[in-house]
Amino acid sequence: MARSDADKLMRVRRFYREAASGPVAGGHGVLLDGKTAKTAGGAVLAAPTPELAVVLAAEWAAQDESIDFTAMPATRLAFTVIDRGVAVHADLAREAARYAGSDTLCYPAERPRALAERQAALWTPWRDWANETFDIRFETAGAALHHVQPPETLAGVEAAAAALDPFSLAGLVFACGLYGSAILALAVQRRALNAVEAFELSRIEEVFQAEQWGLDAEAEARTEAHRAEAAMLDPWFAALA
């Protein structure tokens, strides 16, 4: 199958032999044959901790003859933080609150019964965790209904997000989008939940439907790509702790 134009644009020929982490202007970064790597915007690819620089360098070292940025989620996320993250910090915090307003874990299925019971058993503990951790109240509604969360709940999520450093906040919002859930994203950011386990929790209905009807190859490939992105989040947040 031919790659899309967008996919081709995310690939460039590998132009270095070795990738390693090391000191750079502004922090800790990636050295490509000893030269400082740059972001898409031309800034120094600098991480706030040496541990995160190691995570980034590992992605560069893992590339083959072509650099596939679609397979480098940590690098892409770092690019975003460095090139625009600080300037949009408040916007990103509000984005986390918007995900809380339509959180996947607050829209459990009502039927079939087996799916409803599975979601209740696996989602309720994490809604309770969020309520207790942030002293807020997430409310649930039927899967087909829109429900407005209490203003204080959205404000609590926004405040928790805004208090994070730029790299942690970017990781949080990335996780929100991946899971469709601010609750799961906050649990992963706080290292209360494994990132891949959170991904599986976010797709309970998808798994249930696949059990009934099967999963096609395209959907499986998409799921694997998203699972790999989720796997990046644990080392990302651990490196920032």
Average pLDDT, the chain: 92
Structure tokens at 27: 């922090």
Separation in Å, CA 54 to CA 29, 58, 212: 8, 6, 42
Q: Kindly report, residue by residue over 60-107, the tens digit of the pLDDT.
A: 999 999 999 999 999 999 999 999 877 899 999 999 999 999 999 999
**Residue 166 is inside which H or E element, if any?**
helix 166-179
Q: How far apart are CA 114 and CA 208, in angstroms?
A: 9
Integer Cα distance of 197 and 195 in angstroms: 5
Give per-residue pLDDT as tens, 108-157: 999 999 999 999 999 999 999 999 999 999 999 876 677 899 999 999 99
Is residue 50 within 8 A of residue 28, CB to CB? The reply is yes
38 - beta bridge partners?
Answer: 44
| CATH of the structural domain 5-71, one choice from 1.10.1060.10, 3.40.50.9100, 3.30.200.210, 3.30.2180.10 | 3.30.2180.10
Predicted TM-score of the model (pTM): 0.91
One of 1.20.210.10, 3.40.50.1110, 2.60.120.10, 1.10.3580.10 is the CATH number of 87-240, namely: 1.10.3580.10
| In the chain, where the domains are located | 5-71, 87-240
Distances (CA, A) of 46 to 7, 18, 53, 78, 144: 25, 18, 7, 8, 44
